[in-house]
């Protein structure tokens, strides 16, 4: 089966799975399952958050762990231009945890659902050796946008600013407390649900949310759409905490931001007619920046340009 994903060990695993499943699978490359029900597309996505892999207990409190896991899943709906209609949360909780601990996790999940205009509709509880949350989100889209659909000539845009979550993650891993703005980006991502719908209504050709890092995620868009995505790294909008973290480490802020994952901003291919005036309208309507960072061309893969030269970067990958 052809799985239109970019390069990387995690995506190689998905290709191996798709081969093993054969006709028992469909559209494994996308983040979401999309079902057509009457005139509506129902979009469903599931996202696991595992202790020691996605978070440590001494980084976040349990309510934040619930919030973050749920918001990360809701971000998949944003990438499809869907509105959120419900959340289910399966939790495996260690033996040592209490009923109040579980309630804290779920309170965070509920707050994340509320922030996206929806509710927790169910879930599943189990014991486990470590904390693990699996958030499933359900949305509906009148005109869903997928990763495929970009064409040569499209502009490539990104919402918000990148690298803030990485700045927090690096501080946590070094045993330091991240600054408040970076911590907020890591602990409480904002699924760009309204932004996704706005962009779809204004002609988005292809879209996805940024979870693995811009190089990796742009690779998925390129593979699914059958185009080459060129990104001019100098154009990347960098989160202030990421600028600071990069300069502290004598690095380039845009490269620091490009290598960060879990920003949960939207990467979108807009037709060439979508220009700076349209972007200004987006920014006024959404109170969120929209930056043009590149363009789509005939070809395949991702071309990252920095100071006029081509650069190769790797994003975060659980299986590398």
Site for its own copies in 7-66 (CB under 8 A): 10, 12-14, 16-17, 19-28, 30-33, 35, 37-40, 42, 44-48, 50-54
Handedness of CA 194, 197, 202, 208 (dihedral sign): positive
Query: Which of 100, 142, 234, 248 contacts its own copies by CB under 8 A?
Result: 100
Residue 275: how many CB atoms within 10 A of its CB? 12
Site for its own copies in 140-179 (CB under 8 A): 140
Q: Is 314 in the site for its own copies (CB under 8 A)?
A: no
Q: How far is the CB of 203 from its own copies (least distance, A)?
A: 25
Binding mask 63-92 for its own copies (x = CB under 8 A): ----------------------xx-xxxxx
Q: How far is the CB of 95 from its own copies (least distance, A)?
A: 10
Query: Which of 1, 111, 194, 286 contacts its own copies by CB under 8 A?
Result: 111
Site for its own copies in 212-251 (CB under 8 A): none
Q: Which two tokens stand for residue 113?
A: 């659902």
**CA separation for the pair 288, 295 (Å, rounded):** 21
- Considering the complex, state which of residue 124 and residue 248 has its C-beta at the smaller distance from its own copies: 124
Q: How far is the CB of 53 from its own copies (least distance, A)?
A: 5
Query: Which of 80, 104, 159, 278 contacts its own copies by CB under 8 A?
Result: 104
- Considering the complex, state which of residue 49 and residue 159 has its C-beta at the smaller distance from its own copies: 49
Query: Which of 177, 201, 299, 319 contacts its own copies by CB under 8 A?
Result: 319
Number of residues this chain uses to bind its own copies (CB under 8 A):
73
Residue 283: how many CB atoms within 10 A of its CB? 14
Query: Which of 7, 61, 102, 184 contacts its own copies by CB under 8 A?
Result: 102
Q: How far is the CB of 178 from its own copies (least distance, A)?
A: 23
Q: Which long-range contacts (CB under 8 A, 24 or more apart) does 23-31 make?
A: 25/1, 28/1, 28/3, 29/3, 29/4, 29/5, 29/147, 29/220, 29/223, 29/224, 30/146, 30/147, 30/224, 31/76, 31/79, 31/80, 31/208, 31/209
Residue 156 in contact with residue 295, Cβ under 8 Å? Answer: yes
Residue 17 in contact with residue 229, Cβ under 8 Å? Answer: no
Site for its own copies in 116-135 (CB under 8 A): 119-130, 132, 134
Residue 22: how many CB atoms within 10 A of its CB? 8
The residues pairing with 45 across neighbouring beta strands, listed in sequence order, are 137
**CA separation for the pair 261, 251 (Å, rounded):** 17
- Considering the complex, state which of residue 31 and residue 170 has its C-beta at the smaller distance from its own copies: 31
- Considering the complex, state which of residue 5 and residue 158 has its C-beta at the smaller distance from its own copies: 5
Residue 97 in contact with residue 132, Cβ under 8 Å? Answer: no
Q: Is 113 in the site for its own copies (CB under 8 A)?
A: yes
Please give the sequence-ordered ranges of beta strands (E in DSSP) within 162-280, or none if there are none. Answer: 206-209, 228-232, 266-270
């Amino acid at each position: 089966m052809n799985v239109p994903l970019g390069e990387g060990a995690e995506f190689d695993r998905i290709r191996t799975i798709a081969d093993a499943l054969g006709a028992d699978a469909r559209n494994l490359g996308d983040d979401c399952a999309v079902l057509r029900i009457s005139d509506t597309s129902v979009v469903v996505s599931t996202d696991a958050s595992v202790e020691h892999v996605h978070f440590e207990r001494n980084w976040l409190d349990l309510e934040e762990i619930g919030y973050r896991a749920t918001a990360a899943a809701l971000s998949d709906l944003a990438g499809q231009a869907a509105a959120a209609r419900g959340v289910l949360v399966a939790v495996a909780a260690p033996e040592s945890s209490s009923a109040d601990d579980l309630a804290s996790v779920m309170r965070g999940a509920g707050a994340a659902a509320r922030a996206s205009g929806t509710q927790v509709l169910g879930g599943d509880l189990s014991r486990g050796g470590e904390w693990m949350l699996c958030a499933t989100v359900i949305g509906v889209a009148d005109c869903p946008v997928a990763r495929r659909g970009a064409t040569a000539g499209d502009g490539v845009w990104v919402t918000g600013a990148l690298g803030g979550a990485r700045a927090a993650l690096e501080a946590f891993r070094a045993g330091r407390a991240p600054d408040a703005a970076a911590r907020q980006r890591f602990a409480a991502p904002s699924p760009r649900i309204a932004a996704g719908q706005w962009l779809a209504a204004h002609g988005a050709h292809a879209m996805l949310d940024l979870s693995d890092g811009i190089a990796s995620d742009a690779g998925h868009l390129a593979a699914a759409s059958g185009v080459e995505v060129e990104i001019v790294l100098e154009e990347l909008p960098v989160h202030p905490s990421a600028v600071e973290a990069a300069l502290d480490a004598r690095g380039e802020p845009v490269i620091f931001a490009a290598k960060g994952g879990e920003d949960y901003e939207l990467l979108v291919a807009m037709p060439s007619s979508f220009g700076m005036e349209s972007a200004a309208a987006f920014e006024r309507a959404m109170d969120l920046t929209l930056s043009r960072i590149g363009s789509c061309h005939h070809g395949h893969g991702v071309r990252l340009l920095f100071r006029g030269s081509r650069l190769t970067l790797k994003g975060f990958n659980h299986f590398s």
